[in-house]
Chain A
Amino acid sequence: SQQGEEDPQALSIQEGENATMNCSYKTSINNLQWYRQNSGRGLVHLILIRSNEREKHSGRLRVTLDTSKKSSSLLITASRAADTASYFCATDAGTASKLTFGTGTRLQVTL
């Protein structure tokens, strides 16, 4: 399987803390994207980082990409209860624009 791995599988933190999720993948990529999924819902696109970029910010989100290690991380700062969701990384290897999803991290933010 070409599916990427994410860790941790599950993460529980308190509101205000930072949450870090990691993603590893197996093939060369054009870009890597992070998505969020609330329980039983579709996916919401969070951020895209290209293979020639090393870091990207969007609001409380910070994404890093290390192509030599084939890994990426998503940092959510000052987490809120509303951030509770599953987070998936997805890689675009340029093959017909298909995305390959990681296994996901379930984040629980408690008050």
Chain B
Amino acid sequence: GAVVSQHPSRVICKSGTSVKIECRSLDFQATTMFWYRQFPKQSLMLMATSNEGSKATYEQGVEKDKFLINHASLTLSTLTVTSAHPEDSSFYICSARDTLLETQYFGPGTRLLVL
């Protein structure tokens, strides 16, 4: 199946710093990518839809100035957690949609710990 990568897989940072997470679709072009957040033993909650060449669409309650999304190419979307705080600690997962197959392929996730 299609492969989506995320980098880094794990990051620990101090409170107040910004963290950038990359999501790449390795063998297909994705006009749409999605960013999810998952707390321990919970389900995935969609944060935003990343559209290539246009602004991201954020879900209700997600601060767009806090979670900056850039989708500059058909294979790369980035999520930047700005001025991270301990409550931002979570597992962040991206996915890329294969339009032809109507399925989303998920990255392996990035575990963020803010001290």
Q: Are A and B subunits of one complex?
A: yes
B44 touches A42 (CB 8 A): no
A42 touches B107 (CB 8 A): yes
Q: Does A88 contact B (CB under 8 A)?
A: yes
A97 touches B97 (CB 8 A): yes
Interface segment, one of A53-61, A62-70, A101-109: A101-109
- Size of B's binding interface in residues, CB under 8 A: 26
A45 touches B103 (CB 8 A): yes
Can you give 28 contacting A-B residue pairs, CB < 8 Å?
A30-B102, A31-B102, A33-B103, A40-B109, A40-B111, A41-B108, A41-B109, A42-B4, A42-B6, A42-B93, A42-B107, A43-B44, A43-B106, A45-B1, A45-B103, A48-B103, A88-B44, A97-B32, A97-B97, A98-B34, A98-B46, A99-B104, A100-B46, A101-B43, A101-B44, A103-B42, A104-B42, A106-B41
- Chain B contact residues, CB within 8 Å of chain A: 1, 4, 6, 32, 34, 41-46, 49, 57, 91, 93, 95, 97, 102-109, 111
